[in-house]
Amino acid sequence: MDLAYLRAHPQHLSTFLTHQRIRQTPVGGGSIAQASRLTLDDGESIFAKSMPAGTPENFEVEAAGLRWLGEAGGVPVPEIVVVLPDLLALEWIEPGTPTPAAARRLGEELATTHLAGADAFGLLPGHTDALIGSLPQDNSPAPGPWGPWFAERRLRPYLRLSVDNGALDDHTRASVEAVLRRIEDFGGDEPPSRIHGDLWPGNVLWGADGRARLIDPAAHGGHRETDLAALRLFGGIPDQEHLIRGYAERAAALGRPLDERWEARVPLHQLHLLLVHTALFGHAYREPVRAAAERMLRL
C-alpha cells in the first residue's frame, strides 16, 4: 500500500492494519487517543490515531473541524488522508523546533483563521453534536450575545460534571458560579470567530518547514480570545510575545483589532478548558480552576 493507493482506497486501511501489512511506530497522541506513525510501501508516512475500545470517538467531526479551519486560509492543517468510524489518518508533518519567526507567523495566520468568521456561536457547519476530549460538546448554533452563550454552553456543563465527580470543593464551585452570574459584566462581546476551541500548546504542531499547524480541534464559532487564552495554559506556547505581536498586527490590518482589555479576560476564557480537565481528570486541576475564577471576580 502506497500513499496514492491509500488516497484512492481509504476504506482499506483498517484491513491492512489488522493483517499487519503496514509498519506502525507508536507516537504521542494526547491523553486519550492511541497514535502511530504508519510507514507505507513507498516510504511515505502518515499519522493515524484511534480511540481505546469503549471510548467515544468523533473522527468525522474532527475531520470536519480541520477542513473548516483550513478553508479560512490562515493557519494550515494537516491533509486528511483517511476518515473511518474508528480511525483518522493525516498527513505526516515532520516535527521541527519553535522559533520566534514561526511564532509570529502563527499569530498572523491565526488572526486570519479567526476573522474568517462563523455563522453563529457554537456552530461547526454540518455538526451539532461534538466532543472535547471524550466529553460531549454542544455545537448547536446560537445567535449570541457571546457572554451568556459561553456561560451556558462552555462553562456550566463542565462545572456540573466536575461537581458531580467530586473534583471541585464547595468554595471553588461557588466562585465559578459567581463568575457565571457576572458573565456580562466582563465585556468583550464580539461576533463569532472561527476558532480551534481546544488550542492549548500541545495542539500546535511545529513543522520542520518553519510553519505551525493546528491539530486536534474542537472547532466551532466562538470568541477568538478563547484560543489566545488557551495558548497560555500549561506553561504557554514558546515565544508567546512574538505570536501576540503578529496576531495583533494582522487583526488590526483586517479591521478587527484586539480589545484593549482582552488580557484581563484570559482567566475567564481559560475556565472552559480547565473545567473540562476537572471533569475528565478530577481534583488535580481544582486549584487552577479556583485561581482563574477568583482572578475574574477581582476585576
What CATH number is attached to the domain comprising 243?
A: 3.90.1200.10
Residues 58, 116 share a domain = no
- Calculate mean pLDDT across residues 151-160: 98
Residues 21, 169 share a domain = no
- How far apart (Å, rounded) are the C-alpha atoms in residues 123 and 111? 19
- Give the end of a domain, one of 57, 91, 125: 91
pLDDT above 70 for 185 = yes
pLDDT at 10: 86
The position carrying cell 488535580 is 284
- How far apart (Å, rounded) are the C-alpha atoms in residues 256 and 250? 9
Residues 193, 105 share a domain = yes
Q: What is the pLDDT of residues 206-216, one digit of tens each?
A: 999 999 999 99
Q: How many domains does the structure of the chain reveal?
A: 2
Among 85-89, 118-122, 136-140, where is mean pLDDT lowest? 85-89
Residues 71, 132 share a domain = no
The position carrying cell 497522541 is 29
At 99, is the pLDDT very low, low, confident or very high (cuts 50, 70, 90)? very high
- How far apart (Å, rounded) are the C-alpha atoms in residues 231 and 223? 14
**The dihedral formed by the CA atoms of 278, 282, 288 and 292, expressed in degrees to the nearest 10:** 30
- Give the end of a domain, one of 59, 91, 123: 91
- Give the end of a domain, one of 43, 72, 91: 91
Phi, psi of 269 (to 5 degrees): -70, -35
- How far apart (Å, rounded) are the C-alpha atoms in residues 80 and 71? 13
Q: What is the pLDDT of residues 262-293, one digit of tens each?
A: 999 999 999 999 999 999 999 999 999 999 99
Residue in 127, 131, 263 with CA at minimum distance from that of residue 197: 131
What residue type is 140 in one-letter code?
A: S
Expressed as residue numbers, the domain containing 33 is: 3-91
Residues 214, 180 share a domain = yes
> Exposed/middle/buried for 123, CB within 10 Å: 0-12, 13-18, 19+?
buried
Residues 180, 111 share a domain = yes
pLDDT at 27: 85
Residues 183, 156 share a domain = yes
Q: Which residue has the higher pLDDT, 119 or 25?
A: 119
Neighbouring CB atoms inside 10 A of 142's CB total 19
Residues 216, 144 share a domain = yes
pLDDT above 90 for 58 = no
What residue type is 96 in one-letter code?
A: G
> What DSSP element (H or E) covers 27?
strand 23-27
Residues 112, 43 share a domain = no
The CATH number linked to 24 is 3.30.200.20
Residues 132, 8 share a domain = no
Residues 161, 279 share a domain = yes
Q: Which residue has the higher pLDDT, 126 or 181?
A: 181
At 50, is the pLDDT very low, low, confident or very high (cuts 50, 70, 90)? confident
| 232, 204 Cβ separation under 8 angstroms | no
pLDDT at 55: 62
Residues 113, 165 share a domain = yes
